[in-house]
Chains A and B, each alone.
Chain A
């Protein structure tokens, strides 16, 4: 099928770009690793505070930390797209018969794969810190992280295609990622928050992802939060991808 073949071509092309400077795959893991090393010890001291989810701090913290990585690690992929717009690469793709969805799919799938690799590495680093994780739950979590990555990458590409300049892109992305991550209960559980903040978090799709992956890591497969997380993020990923695709098609007219 044409869309599959074209997506494969675009995925390989973008993967080649990533592999040309693989060091950045590691550089963009620096932020979660710093949280792991310099912030998590604080949580250990908080162990007995009421409102914290049960379990060791590390078991609660790591799934959320990986959501943080999924948000921030993929949020800035739009910059490379602006470069491709400026050098005429996107225009060259658009005048070729290549499937339009494939142009974007090849990028977001690359971003999702890079993210999954980063999540595996961060998890491995966390094991010596006492992380215990359900293997099946972890694999399902990776799928959810990939969906978050696809969501953030699509948002980033969508704005890149609309703005076409870097200056406007960075503040827009920061404006999205910061509140969304604060309202996910990643760093501290939202159970500690006042009611209004908890209500606000309920309309933040990524807080569902945090709940879902915490349940998955713990192996609580009966937890309804898991289904909620996949549905919310899955629907969101599809919607923002279609929005990004619309921006790509609109760029032409």
Chain B
């Protein structure tokens, strides 16, 4: 294993045995997963509910024993060195795990102590984390009284209190209001700048897109495609730019001009608008507008749409991720 790999799995599998009427049934929740997560990156594990994201994460945190395959976490063998993995990995499950009848401070102090920190230092770091996650106004109250966003902050602080090198976050923003989401995204990015590697599962395209350096899309227990958000999106095709003009005649003139000017993947005029598919649309757009202006072909509106990760999901699975979420 090379030095900068924080997680490395080969053929990681998990089969659950479920008891049903008429006997036992095997459910293969995770089917042979190969992953590499590099030091210092935010790695996004994107997929619909039931895709195997949480199961994979639970195997990596030593909570679930894999049925097959092998994995190294922080260089430690998942099958043999669970103690070392537990000591050095931080983990925030979907449920969170804060003790609701205790106060935030009590939760944080105990959590630090569980990782072997003695009481005085545990209290000190609990206070630091309360400050850092802006929890001072509510940290002395029982966690049962917290809002969703406040509780999530406590959950993440609990996962971080022993300063792990790797943080596993299972759907950190599910069910949160937009402000809390934005706040947490900021905190997650900050952790990255501090050198923490983050493995994050999510069912939200925008979250994966905004936060992650690398994304693996998982569906039905298998990784379908892996890459940076940009790579994945450009694998779908270029950006789409739509110029609309005062008349159809102007639009046709514009089409002719644009066809001469650039190598578009696709260009066509519909009514008063020119639709153009092209790589790097964002960068090219100002230049195109200037050329149109120079010929007095004044565009009335311009829209640029980039391929989304949803398009990526659609391309590789034939389904829309949103459909799955609604179901």
Kindly identify, within residues 11 to 43 of chain B, every residue whose CB is under 8 Å from any CB belonging to chain A: none
Question: How far, in Å, is B102 (CB) from chain A's closest CB?
Answer: 7
CB contact between B64 and one of A13, A93, A252 (< 8 Å): that residue: A252
Q: Decide: A6 and B93 in contact? CB cutoff 8 A.
A: no
Q: Decide: A9 and B101 in contact? CB cutoff 8 A.
A: no
CB contact between A253 and one of B65, B83, B87 (< 8 Å): that residue: B65
CB contact between A9 and one of B94, B96, B100, B114 (< 8 Å): that residue: B114
Choose the segment among A81-89, A112-120, A148-156 that binds chain B (4+ C-beta atoms closer than 8 Å).
Answer: A81-89
> In the complex where A9-B110, A252-B63, A252-B65 touch, is A91 in contact with B95 (Cβ < 8 A)?
yes
Chain A residue numbers with a CB within 8 Å of B316 are none
> In the complex where A20-B101, A253-B65 touch, is A95 in contact with B113 (Cβ < 8 A)?
no
Kindly identify, within residues 79 to 109 of chain A, every residue whose CB is under 8 Å from any CB belonging to chain B: 84, 86-89, 91-98
Residue A16 lies at the interface, judged by CB distance under 8 Å to chain B:
yes
Chain B residue numbers with a CB within 8 Å of A17 are 101-102
Chain B residue numbers with a CB within 8 Å of A253 are 64-65
> In the complex where A9-B110, A20-B101 touch, is A87 in contact with B95 (Cβ < 8 A)?
yes
Q: Decide: A88 and B95 in contact? CB cutoff 8 A.
A: yes
Chain A contact residue count (CB 8 A cutoff): 21
Q: Decide: A95 and B86 in contact? CB cutoff 8 A.
A: yes
- A94 and chain B: residue at smallest CB distance: B63
Q: Decide: B113 and A87 in contact? CB cutoff 8 A.
A: no
CB contact between B114 and one of A88, A91, A98, A252 (< 8 Å): that residue: A98
Chain A residue numbers with a CB within 8 Å of B83 are 97
Q: Decide: B110 and A13 in contact? CB cutoff 8 A.
A: yes
Chain A residue numbers with a CB within 8 Å of B62 are 95, 252
Q: Decide: A86 and B95 in contact? CB cutoff 8 A.
A: yes
Question: How far, in Å, is B30 (CB) from chain A's closest CB?
Answer: 14
A71 to B75, CA, bound (A): 49
Question: How far, in Å, is A4 (CB) from chain B's closest CB?
Answer: 13
Q: Decide: B114 and A93 in contact? CB cutoff 8 A.
A: yes
Residue B50 lies at the interface, judged by CB distance under 8 Å to chain A:
no
A252 to B101, CA, bound (A): 24
- A90 and chain B: residue at smallest CB distance: B97
Q: Decide: A96 and B95 in contact? CB cutoff 8 A.
A: no
- B66 and chain A: residue at smallest CB distance: A253
- A6 and chain B: residue at smallest CB distance: B114
Kindly identify, within residues 193 to 243 of chain A, every residue whose CB is under 8 Å from any CB belonging to chain B: none
Q: Decide: A87 and B63 in contact? CB cutoff 8 A.
A: no
Q: Decide: B110 and A97 in contact? CB cutoff 8 A.
A: no
Residues of chain B touching chain A, judged by Cβ–Cβ distance below 8 Å, are 61-65, 83, 86-87, 89, 91, 93-102, 106, 110-111, 113-116, 158
List the 9 closest pairs (A to B, CB-CB), nearest first: A88-B95, A92-B97, A88-B97, A97-B86, A95-B91, A96-B114, A253-B65, A95-B61, A98-B114
Beyond A91-B93, A95-B89, 19 additional contacts (C-beta under 8 Å) are A6-B114, A9-B110, A13-B99, A16-B106, A86-B95, A87-B97, A87-B99, A88-B95, A89-B97, A89-B98, A91-B63, A92-B93, A92-B97, A92-B158, A94-B63, A95-B91, A96-B114, A97-B115, A252-B62
